Structure 1
C-alpha cells in the first residue's frame, strides 16, 4: 500500500464528469457527476458491475470514447491540463507519453503479425524518440524489467507464441515505454490464472513504486482490489456511491451496493455439502492422453503433452472441479470428453441408460452424433458461443430438432428451459445481443439442457462475469443439478468458485492430475506443493476467507 501525503498534487483529477449516452440507451448517462483524483505512486481501484461506467471513465481519460458517447459536463485534468479541451492531435501526443494503458485481453490488443520488440519500438517511433539501435536496446530493457525470460529471444517472437501472462507483460512494457505519469489498467488480470495473476499484480505494484506512476486500476474482482488498492471508488450505474481507503471500503462498507458486491465474493472456505448416495459412475475417463505437435518460431518441432494418463469418474449429482493454471490441460480434458478434441489415447465411457456402457471414445462420426446429446457443454464466452443471427428460441431448439424432435415441440421446451434458468419465456423471440453477459450465460445453460444430458461440462462458465452475476449463475447451476441429477465436470482457474460449487477437486499441472480429493479436505490440507502454491496465490485470500 502507498503512503501518499494528502497534500501531494494529484496526477489525475476528474471533476464532476458526466458522459451522455445516445437517446435509446437504457439510461441517460454512462457516468454522472463523478469526481476522483489519483496522486503520484498511488493505486485507485474503480469497481462495479458490468455497465457501471468504470471502463467509460478510462476511455474518457484516454480520449477514446465511442462516437455515440459524449462528454456532457465536468473536466479531466492531467497534471492540471484539461484533457477534454484537447484536439485529437494533442491527445495522440498525450497517449503513451503521459498516459499508458493496459487492456484486458492482450491477444486482441497486440498486433498478431508484428514481432514483440517491433511493437514496443513502434511506440518510440510514433513519438519520434531515440535512434534505431537505442530503440531496440530500450525495448529489450523493458522486456527485462517486466520479468520476461530470455528477453532477446522473446523480442523476436510473435504474440501467439507467448502465454497469456507473457503477453500481458508485453502490454505492460509497452504502456511503460515512455514512462507515463499515469497508468490505466482495465481488467488486466481477469483472463489470467491465479499464479500468473499474482505475478502481474506484484509486478505492477513494484513498477508504480519504482517509477512513482499513478495507477487507475479498473476491475470487478474484489480479491484483486484487496491485493493492490490504496483507495477504492465504487460505481453503480454511472454514479459514484462510495469512495475511501481500501481498509475503509473493504472493512466497513457504508453503501448497500458495496455491501452487496462484497457479499457476492465467493469464499475460499467450502460450504458443507451433503454426501452423495453410492451409485455407479455416469462418466468414466480412463488413461486419457492428448499430444499436440507444435513448431516454434525457430522452426523446431516439439510435442506438448496437454493431457497424460488422466483418469477420473463422475457419479450422478456430483460436481468434479478440474483446476490448474493456464496450459495445465484442464480445458483439453473437458473438450476431449465431448470429442470436440480427439484424444490420442485412453477411454471415455458413458453409463446409466440401461443398455450397458457406451465407449464414447470408440464411436465413429455417425454414432457419435447420435449419442453426443448425453454430454453437453457450457462455454466460457456466452456471446461468442451463441449465433448472433438466430433467435434465442432457435438457438435452444436446434439441438432437439437435429435429434428428431418437432420444431413446435422443441420451442415449447425452449420456453420451459428459459423459465428454468430464470428468464422470461418470451425471450425465445429475441437475439443474443439484447441480453447482458449473465443472461447470455443462462441461455447457454438452457441450450445445453435442451438435449437432457447426463453430463454437463462447464468450461470456465463464470470467469467472464461480475461477482454478483457469477453468484447467481453458480446458484442456478447448483439448483438445476439438484433438480435434474446432472453430473458436472467444472473446469475453472478460480479456486474461490471451485470451493463453492465442487464436491471434489482434481488439480492439474502440466497435463497431469497431481492431487484429487473432496473439496473441503483438499482446501484445508493440500498434500501437493503445487496445490499449496495455487491456494497461496489467490488474491485477497486473507480478507475473503482463506
Structure 2
C-alpha cells in the first residue's frame, strides 16, 4: 500500500523518548518517523529493548513517568498527541485510538464481569444508557467470535480461556469504533491454533472497519501472516522499513537478516536415534481436576492426563506439544511430583517417584529440576543471583562457600560473568534471567531437566541463543530433557522425539523428523497447519 496515496491515520515524526540517567542508552526511541495508514497493518518488530513497545505506549499516552518525549510529534489526524493534557487523553483513548495488550489476564479486572468491563468503556465516554450498554456488550462479544455471548458477558476473566480473554480485550478496544488499533504482542502467549484465530480476527475486523493497525511483535511468522508493511527497530532507531514481502523476502539491513536467520524453521535437523537406558518412564498416568460445584450446580471435571505413557531416554530431548489446556504442563508437574496423580507411575531411573514421601522425595527431586516459563516471576527479587543459585545446594546440605563457588562456575557455564553473583534479577534482561534460571536448575546436578515453555517469552535471537545453550549443556553434562512448548518451530529444532497431546491424551509420538514429514493424526496436522507464516497446501 502506497502511504502517499492513502489517508494517513497517524504520522510520527522524529520521535525521541529519553530514558532516565543510568540507562543502557540515552533514548529508548531515537528519531523514529513513520506513517500509519488507514486500512493497513504496520508491524513493528525488533528484539526486546528495541523501543517498539515504547512507540506503542507513546501513541497511547501511557509512557512510564521516567520516560519523557524530548523531540518529535505524533499526529492523530490534526491532533498532536504529545501536546494533550490528561483530560484530552481520556477522550482520545478508546474513542479514536485503542490498545490490545499482551496479557489479557493482567489487563482485565478480575473482580468485574466481562460484560460490565465492556459497558464501562461506553460509560467512561458518556455514551448510551445502561440498558443499551449491556446490549452492545453482547453484540460486541458476538462480533469477535466469543461463543454464547449472553453467557460470556456474565462471566469473570478467570472463567475464560486465554484466547477468549484476548477476544474480550479486542471487543473492548473496538467498542467505540476507533480509527487506530495498537496491538502490543497480542498473540505471544497463545498456542498456535488460538494464535491463528486471533490473527484472522484482527485482520477481518481491520478490513471490515478500514482501521489502521500498529501491530507489535517479535515473531516473524506473525509478521508474514498479517503485515502489510514492516518497520524494524534496533536500539531505538529504524534500520529498515518497507512492504512485508520486500522486508521478509529481500531484507537490506544486516540486522534484519540476522533476525530472520534466527527464526526457527519447521525442518528438524538430522539426529541419531536414541534407545539407551530410560531416564524417566511414565506409565498409565491419570489426573482429573474437579472444580466448581455447589448446591444447585454440578462439579466440573477436567481430565488433564488420561492414561499417559512415554519413556525419556538418557541424553534425549522429548517434546510435549499441544494447545493450551491439552495437559502438557500438568504432565510435567506430575512427573516432577509437584502435583499428585490419581493413578499411574513415574520412574526416575530405578526409583519409583510415585511412592516416595517426605525426605526421600526431597532427595529424589534433586535429580530432576525445572526451568520455568517466566524467569522473573520464578526468581526471588530480594535475593542476589548468587544466593538464588546456591540456595538449592545449601538446602541439600552443601556448605554455603562450596555452593557459592558452584554458582560461580554455573554462571560461566551459561554464559554470564561472575560479577552477576552480587546483582539482583531486575538488573538483567529476559534472556539473561532465563540463563540464571537454567543455572539454578543445574545447581543440584540433576539427571533430567523439565523445561516448561522456557523460551516462549523471548524474542527470536535470544530464543536461538537459549536453545543453543540448552543443546550444549545437554551434550556436555549428559542431561535428558522433557521440553514443553506450544511453538512447533522450537520443538522442531531441539527435540529428538515429540509427543502431541490433546485433551489429556498423547495422540501421536514420533521422532521430530517423522512427525513433521508425515503427521498421521488429524489434530497434529491441524497444529502444523496453524503455525503462522507457514505455507498452506491447497486442499
TM-score, structure 2 as length reference: 0.98
The equivalent of 1:251 in structure 2 is 249
The equivalent of 2:474 in structure 1 is 481
The equivalent of 1:354 in structure 2 is none
The equivalent of 1:350 in structure 2 is 348
Asked if the contact 1:4/1:42 (under 8 Å) is kept, the reply is no
The equivalent of 2:358 in structure 1 is 365
The equivalent of 1:83 in structure 2 is 81
Q: What is the aligned counterpart of 2:17 among 16, 19, 38?
A: 19
1:296-445 aligned at under 5 Å gives the runs: 299-351=297-349, 357-445=350-438
The equivalent of 2:531 in structure 1 is 538
Q: Deviations over 1:52-103 (max 9, x none)?
A: 0000011111111101111101100001211111111001100000011000
Q: Deviations over 1:369-409 (max 9, x none)?
A: 11110110000001001001111111111111111111111
The equivalent of 2:521 in structure 1 is 528
Q: What is the aligned counterpart of 1:284 among 268, 281, 284?
A: 281
Asked if the contact 1:16/1:32 (under 8 Å) is kept, the reply is yes
Q: Deviations over 1:264-294 (max 9, x none)?
A: 0000110112333x42201101111111001
- Change in 2 beyond 3 A, CA 1:163/1:44: same
Aligned to 1:303, what secondary structure does the other structure show? strand
> How far apart in 2 are the matches of 1:215 and 1:319?
40
Deviates more, 1:200-209 or 1:32-41: 32-41
Aligned to 1:322, what secondary structure does the other structure show? strand
- Change in 2 beyond 3 A, CA 1:386/1:155: same
Query: In the alignment, is residue 504 of structure 1 matched against residue 497 of structure 2?
Result: yes
Q: What is the aligned counterpart of 2:126 among 128, 132, 149?
A: 128
The equivalent of 2:157 in structure 1 is 159
Q: What is the aligned counterpart of 1:264 among 262, 270, 278?
A: 262
> How far apart in 2 are the matches of 1:203 and 1:173?
11
> How far apart in 1 are the matches of 2:23 and 2:293?
47
* CA drift at 1:6: 3.6
Where in structure 1 are there 5+ consecutive unaligned residues? 352-356
Count of residues paired in the alignment: 535
Deviates more, 1:393-402 or 1:103-112: 393-402
Deviates more, 1:267-276 or 1:482-491: 267-276
> How far apart in 1 are the matches of 2:298 and 2:115?
21
The equivalent of 1:446 in structure 2 is 439
* CA drift at 1:222: 0.6
> How far apart in 1 are the matches of 2:2 and 2:203?
14
> How far apart in 1 are the matches of 2:331 and 2:439?
23
Aligned to 2:380, what secondary structure does the other structure show? coil
Asked if the contact 1:350/1:359 (under 8 Å) is kept, the reply is yes
Where in structure 2 are there 5+ consecutive unaligned residues? none
TM-score, structure 1 as length reference: 0.97
1:232-247 aligned at under 5 Å gives the runs: 232-247=230-245
> How far apart in 2 are the matches of 1:286 and 1:274?
25
Aligned to 2:329, what secondary structure does the other structure show? helix
Query: In the alignment, is residue 111 of structure 1 matched against residue 104 of structure 2?
Result: no
Aligned to 1:77, what secondary structure does the other structure show? strand
The equivalent of 1:150 in structure 2 is 148
Asked if the contact 2:144/2:201 (under 8 Å) is kept, the reply is yes
Q: Deviations over 1:406-440 (max 9, x none)?
A: 11111111111111101112211111111110001
Query: In the alignment, is residue 73 of structure 1 matched against residue 60 of structure 2?
Result: no
> How far apart in 2 are the matches of 1:427 and 1:306?
39
Q: Deviations over 1:150-192 (max 9, x none)?
A: 0001110000000000000000000000000000000000000
* CA drift at 1:366: 2.1
Asked if the contact 2:3/2:35 (under 8 Å) is kept, the reply is no
> How far apart in 2 are the matches of 1:24 and 1:423?
21
* CA drift at 1:463: 0.2
The equivalent of 1:458 in structure 2 is 451
* CA drift at 1:39: 1.1
Aligned to 1:531, what secondary structure does the other structure show? helix
Aligned to 1:268, what secondary structure does the other structure show? coil
> How far apart in 1 are the matches of 2:21 and 2:87?
29
Q: CA RMSD in A?
A: 1.1
> How far apart in 1 are the matches of 2:492 and 2:78?
47
* CA drift at 1:24: 1.3
Q: Deviations over 1:314-340 (max 9, x none)?
A: 111100000000000000000111111
